[in-house]
Structure 1
Amino acid sequence: MRQTFSLLTKCRRRTGRLQEDRGFASVEFAVLAVVTLALVFTAIQVGLYYHARKVAQSAARQGVEAGRQFSASEGDGVAQAQTFLSRFGGSVRGASVSSSGSSAQEIRITVRGNVATLVPGLTFEVVQHASAPVERWSTP
């Protein structure tokens, strides 16, 4: 009889604890879901930033390669960079291309734009440039 009483007491204590914790799992899930979603969106945003950065860098390199060729101009480089952005630059919003900083010996193409974001109102700017010497004929 004594053993039965102690088992009943233990069961009541356990069920009492479970009743006190009822609903706590859903609160934990809600908190963890918010944290997990924030981490996922942050990872996606970082990926979008680095992708836009690489696209802008590739556009600048394409422009430099077009503008440094023999008898090409800075305008040819800018046009090539803009053509590249129109094809592949969906992640760089409002991109502008300039050849400021170029000289007779070196061409420099700069690409500026904003990164596509997941949060409205949040803006990240990306600026990438490439430079190379201009090809020219020389005699030994």
Structure 2
Amino acid sequence: MMLSRARLTAWWHGRRFQDDRGDTSMQMAIVFPFVLLLTVAVIQASMWYYARQIALTAAREGLSTARSYQAGPAEGATRARDVLNRTAGDSLMSAGVSTTGSGAQRIRIEVSGTAQSMLPGVPGLHITQSASGTVERWTKPGTP
């Protein structure tokens, strides 16, 4: 008894598809943890970047205030803390403001804290941002 080519092809294709059952589920079981890990990593990086931007904004605002005429590092630190209180929320935890490195000619405001972590029990990344600039002052024409 001889099989026709059409029946043999149909039998072969049916057999091949029958053996592939479950392959998609197995592929998803292998690939899905990596996709999930990549998603968490992207979200964590975004949270770290956002916390850095909050710290930098607070430092710049503090510097702008501290550089003003007849202001000083204390006013700048107060302004930076105000900005942090308004904007940080849970994004920048344990935030602190420092004016270390400030002098009569130069002001430096440093804001540091910890970015929130996506994974419970895992500490967030430490962030430090600073801004510095010269103090505004009145001078007589012709004097440096």
Residue 78 of structure 1 and its aligned partner are, at CA, apart by 0.6
Residue 134 of structure 1 and its aligned partner are, at CA, apart by 1.0
Q: Which amino acid aligns with 2:126?
A: E
1:56-79 deviation line (CA, Å, top 9, x unaligned) = 101000111111112212111111
Per the alignment, residue 123 of structure 1 pairs with 124
Residue 29 of structure 1 and its aligned partner are, at CA, apart by 2.0
Per the alignment, residue 49 of structure 2 pairs with 50
Q: How does 1:34-113 map to 2 (within 5 A)?
A: 34-90=33-89, 91-113=91-113
Residue 80 of structure 1 and its aligned partner are, at CA, apart by 0.4
1:38-63 deviation line (CA, Å, top 9, x unaligned) = 22222222211111111110100011
Per the alignment, residue 20 of structure 2 pairs with 21
Residue 117 of structure 1 and its aligned partner are, at CA, apart by 1.8
Q: How many pairs does the alignment contain?
A: 139
Structure 1: gaps (5+ residues): none
**TM norm structure 2:** 0.87
Distance 2:84 2:26 in 1: 47
Distance 1:30 1:77 in 2: 54
Q: Which amino acid aligns with 2:41?
A: T
Distance 1:104 1:31 in 2: 62
1:79-101 deviation line (CA, Å, top 9, x unaligned) = 10000001001211111100001
Structure 2: gaps (5+ residues): none
**TM norm structure 1:** 0.89
1:114 aligns with 2:114: yes
Let me know the Cα RMSD of the aligned residues. 1.7
Distance 2:14 2:139 in 1: 92
Distance 2:101 2:42 in 1: 35
- What secondary structure sits across from 1:96 in the alignment? strand
Summarize the Cα distance change of 1:25–1:10 in structure 2 as closer, same or farther, 3 Å threshold: same
